[in-house]
Amino acid sequence: MPLNLGDTVPDFSCDSSVGQIHYYDHVGDEHWSILCSHPSDFTPVCSTELGTLAKLLPQFERRNCKVLALSCDNAESHRKWIKDIDASGYCGKTTSTVSYPILADEERALAVKFGMLDPEEKDEKGQPLTCRAVFIVDDHKKLRATILYPATTGRNFYEILRVVDSLQLTDEYPVATPANWERGEKVCVTPSTPDEVAQVVLGDFSVVKVPSGKKYLRLSKDPGYKTPKVLKRGMVETILGTEYGAKLLPTLGRLVVAFALGGFSSSFASSKKKEKPVLTTPQTSGWKKR
């Protein structure tokens, strides 16, 4: 039976690049986890994906989320391949190695259990390979989201982070995240939430006027986001490596120039762009849907 959203993800044991893994023990009772399958070791797209996952590991850790990868090659092959990935440059400047486990599902037991096999992609023996699946599992071991891509399309791991952000935020507050949402942007009040409850839990919200006259498109600020007063040392490189960082760069650049010219206040005051907030863990509002 394929796993559906909301199902409990079953426990399993499997050899891996870091030795035998017992899934429930490895993840523990308080962590989320993502399980990412890929077709095969020593292949180009998979190498870029696993390197990128290593680079983004601190961002998953910040979200209390463990990372596991999986393919149908053996653990020795994984360990040799990791040396290539480490040297490929995809792990980024601050991460030296793929430290999360790569599961060695040689018998394809997990791939079958989790519905990860792609009948279109076969190895040299004609056996089906795993596709690019992602399972996002919460701290109660419930499957919360999945994606399934073919071997020829590498995944966007910023999107996986974004989905984890959305799931964790919407577990805590009566909100849903709109198209292309990222942390710090406006969120939708869920349809089942009365105005009075939204006002108390979320504060002021706006109602978008639509021709039907129905007041269903209610927007509030992201209730799990805080604007930092100071950028802490060591955070800068991490922030600049994210999509948020890319958006921050013009403002930071202006700040540096302004400091250099000694005209900090007038230069910054003339900026039309607001300071972008950075990541914080969602604040518990007392409102919990689960």
- Binding residues (CB under 6 A) for ligand BEZ: these are 39-40, 43-46, 121, 151-152
Tokens (6 digits) for 44: 């180009």
Q: How far is the CB of 143 from ligand BEZ (least distance, A)?
A: 25
Residues 6+ away with beta carbon under 8 Å from 290: 140, 171
At its nearest, how many Å lie between ligand BEZ and the CB of residue 23?
24
Nearer to ligand BEZ, 61 or 120 (CB): 120
The pairing of beta strand 102-104 with beta strand 65-71: parallel
Q: Specify whether the CB–CB gap between 165 and 63 falls below 8 A.
A: yes
Nearer Cβ to ligand BEZ (42/216): 42
Least distance CB 56 / ligand BEZ (angstroms): 18
**Residue 69 Cβ vs ligand BEZ, minimum distance, rounded to whole Å:** 12
Minimum CB distance to ligand BEZ smaller for 130 or for 168? 130
Distance of CA 67 to the CA centre of its chain: 10
**3-state secondary structure (DSSP) of residue 238:** helix
The angle at the Cα of 175, spanning 174 to 176, to the nearest 5 degrees, equals 140
Helix/strand/coil for 136 = strand
Output the smallest distance, CB 44 to ligand BEZ, in A.
4
- Cβ closer to ligand BEZ: 20 or 88? 88
Nearer Cβ to ligand BEZ, position 40 or 146?
40
Q: How much of the chain is helix, strand and coil, in % rounded to 5?
A: 35, 20, 45
To the nearest whole angstrom, how small is the minimum distance from the Cβ of residue 121 to ligand BEZ?
A: 6
Structure tokens at 52: 């990128």
User: Which amino acid does the sequence have at 105?
Assistant: D
Nearer to ligand BEZ, 45 or 197 (CB): 45
